[in-house]
């Protein structure tokens, strides 16, 4: 990637992967940046740093929900959202190999799950795919927006 996306710039400011993707796109729905950063914080690190579903991808799923639904419990809309999210998951996996944080970071199942975030320094950025993954997630969701 030659130029950083809005989401990547937020990531470089210290926000987690979910916050970066969600806040970079929340203004499309009239959501204040501070609210977007707060509501998505717990999804970072594969949801609370549990290393499960990547926060960048989780943010994409949240954005699809904003894009595609109403507040009614509608079975057809729910199915359409699930189809859409599954398609995005296929795209995300094709470009990253997985939607699972642990896999993206090449961690073992038994690696210790510590809640303390790692320090952001040159070593962090050199050894982690997160900045690239955030950029891919941002591009995937923006392509989805452009097709709507």
Give residue-wise pLDDT tens across range 105-122. 999 877 778 888 889 999
Q: What is the pLDDT of residue 2?
A: 58
Whether residue 142 contacts residue 88, with contact meaning beta carbons closer than 8 Å, is answered with no
Query: Chain-wide mean pLDDT for the chain?
Result: 93
Question: 35-67 pLDDT, tens per residue?
Answer: 999 999 999 999 999 999 999 999 999 999 999
pLDDT surpassing 90 at residue 76: no
pLDDT surpassing 60 at residue 1: no
Q: What are the DSSP calls for the chain, one per residue?
A: --S--HHHHHHHTT--HHHHHHHHHHGGGT--HHHHHHHHGGGTTTTTTS--B-HHHHHHHHHHHHHH--SS--HHHHHHHHHHHHHHHHHHHHHHS-SBHHHHTT--TTS---SSPPP-SHHHHHH--HHHHHHHHHHHHHHHHHT-
What mean pLDDT is predicted for residues 15-39?
Answer: 97
pLDDT surpassing 80 at residue 70: no
Q: What is the pLDDT of residue 41?
A: 98
What mean pLDDT is predicted for residues 63-73?
Answer: 84
What mean pLDDT is predicted for residues 13-20?
Answer: 98
Q: How far is CA 40 from CA 37, 87, 117, 127, in A?
A: 6, 22, 15, 24
Can you give the pTM of this predicted structure?
0.93
């Amino acid at each position: 990637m030659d130029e950083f996306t809005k989401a990547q710039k937020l990531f470089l400011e210290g926000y987690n992967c979910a916050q970066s993707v969600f806040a970079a796109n929340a203004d499309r729905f009239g959501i204040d940046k501070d609210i977007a950063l707060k509501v998505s914080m717990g999804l970072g690190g594969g949801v609370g740093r549990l290393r499960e579903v990547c926060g960048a991808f989780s943010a994409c799923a949240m954005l699809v929900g904003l894009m595609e639904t109403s507040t009614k419990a509608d079975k057809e809309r729910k199915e359409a959202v699930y189809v859409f999210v599954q398609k995005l998951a296929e795209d995300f996996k094709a470009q990253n190999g997985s939607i699972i944080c642990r896999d993206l970071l090449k961690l073992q199942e038994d690696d210790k799950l510590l809640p303390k975030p790692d320090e952001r320094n040159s070593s962090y950025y050199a050894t982690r795919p997160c900045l690239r993954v955030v950029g891919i997630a941002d591009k995937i969701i923006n392509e989805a927006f452009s097709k709507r």
